[in-house]
Structure 1
Amino acid sequence: MTAPPQTTAPVPARPLRLTLVPALHPPLTGPAVALVDPTTPPPRPAYRPGPRPAPEGLRSRQPDLFGPAWSVRADLPDPRAAGRLLFTTVLEALAGRRPLSQVQRLTAPGVHAALGAGRRPAWCSGGTAPVLLGPVHVCEPVDGVAEVSAVARRAGRAHAVAARLEGVDGRWRCTALSIG
């Protein structure tokens, strides 16, 4: 035999009750407390490349015609495309597939000199397998500055490439380059 089904009566809902809890700390009634030590210097502002000062003799004659002009992000093209072009050009130049002089327009003078004078990574210059460049990742820490990175593959091995791009005269220029 089976037992008859049990019916349960709905439990009446109790009304909500609001209870005020006293504060754990007394309210501040005294003078304001300084949270910053006045003897500590304020933090340095974020790095932002500014216009380079011209030498005194040139500044007095024609101040606006000399030296590079820093560009803001709105005046610059897509950093992802610029990074891909830079990485492709540099890796092909290091592999001997194009002249190193083609890298000069994309890089600062110091970076170009280091590429020409420095030793080339063995994975770039040796072998005949093509260099495949993965997706380019972009980080823009400051207006007018982009840090780009990618993974280059050759003969089944992966290598990191990274660069810092700064906006100068309406285009991206590589000021630091790392090839791992």
Structure 2
Amino acid sequence: MTASPSSAAAPAPAPSPLRLVVVPTPQPPLQDGRVPVRLVHPGLSAPRPAHRPGPRPRPAYAARDDDFGPAWSARAELPDARDAGRRLITLTLEALAGRRPLAQLQPITSLGVFAALSGGRRPRWCAEGTSPLVVGPVHVCEPVDGVAEVTAVARRGGRAHAVAARLEGIDGRWRCTALQVG
């Protein structure tokens, strides 16, 4: 038996040639002190630098009396992150359970975290029931100087729930800037 020409496999189409696509990098234009260089088209604005979470670099000059506002603190200027994290997690869970006023969290949280706690709904496992809340060991990771990420497991009524927070050193004390209660 011979195969008919119609049943033979059709030749594969030739692959399309590769082409180079130039993608602009999301970096600010390079600046040289000797010769000003402009790498941006005249009609376009310069791209914004990438967001880098964490504390901002501290200024090299000495602080003057007329400086004001919050100042980032180095790790050496801050208390123990594990104790601060345990205190934050315990206070937060007690406030969500209705055992202490939410206003007590205001000094140790950022405005955004406090607004979310005040206006958000409370986790059902935290708000309902009378069994005690038990916070397990607090784990601390310090990815950058002046920043601590703390996690713990809270138990209530035989169930475990994860709690995570980001603490940043501001004005010589830890302040919670992100909080997740699972």
TM-score normalised by L of structure 1: 0.68
Aligned to 1:125: 127
The structure-2 alpha-carbon separation of the partners of 1:128 and 1:48, relative to structure 1 and needing over 3 Å to count, comes to closer
Structure 1's unaligned 5+ residue stretches are 1-38, 53-61
Is residue 88 from structure 1 mapped to residue 94 from structure 2 by the alignment?
no
2-structure distance, mates of 1:134, 1:86:
13
Q: How many residues align?
A: 132
Q: What is the CA distance between 1:82 and its match in structure 2? A: 0.1
Q: What is the CA distance between 1:40 and its match in structure 2? A: 6.7
The structure-2 alpha-carbon separation of the partners of 1:128 and 1:137, relative to structure 1 and needing over 3 Å to count, comes to same
The structure-2 alpha-carbon separation of the partners of 1:110 and 1:44, relative to structure 1 and needing over 3 Å to count, comes to closer
CA contact (8 A) 1:145 1:164 kept: yes
Deviations 1:2-44 (A, max 9, x none): xxxxxxxxxxxxxxxxxxxxxxxxxxxxxxxxxxxxx977897
CA RMSD in angstroms, aligned pairs only: 2.3
Instruction: Read off the aligned partner of 1:49 and give its amino acid letter.
Output: P
TM-score normalised by L of structure 2: 0.67
Q: What is the CA distance between 1:67 and its match in structure 2? A: 1.1
SS in 2 for 1:130: coil
Instruction: Read off the aligned partner of 1:100 and give its amino acid letter.
Output: L
Deviations 1:53-110 (A, max 9, x none): xxxxxxxxx751x210000000000000000000000000000111111111110011
Instruction: Read off the aligned partner of 1:50 and give its amino acid letter.
Output: R
Aligned to 1:139: 141
Once the two structures are superposed, the pairs formed by residues 60-139 of structure 1 within 5 Å of their partners are 63-64=66-67, 66-139=68-141
Deviations 1:131-172 (A, max 9, x none): 000000000000000000000000000000000000000000
Instruction: Read off the aligned partner of 2:115 and give its amino acid letter.
Output: A
The structure-2 alpha-carbon separation of the partners of 1:67 and 1:154, relative to structure 1 and needing over 3 Å to count, comes to same
Instruction: Find 2:55's aligned residue among 49, 53, 64.
Output: 49
2-structure distance, mates of 1:160, 1:119:
17
Aligned to 1:161: 163
SS in 2 for 1:164: strand
2-structure distance, mates of 1:174, 1:125:
21
1-structure distance, mates of 2:87, 2:148:
14
SS in 2 for 1:88: helix
1-structure distance, mates of 2:165, 2:128:
23
Q: What is the CA distance between 1:49 and its match in structure 2? A: 1.7
Q: Whose radius of gyration is greater, 1 or 2?
A: 1
CA contact (8 A) 1:51 1:69 kept: no
CA contact (8 A) 1:51 1:68 kept: no
1-structure distance, mates of 2:71, 2:170:
6
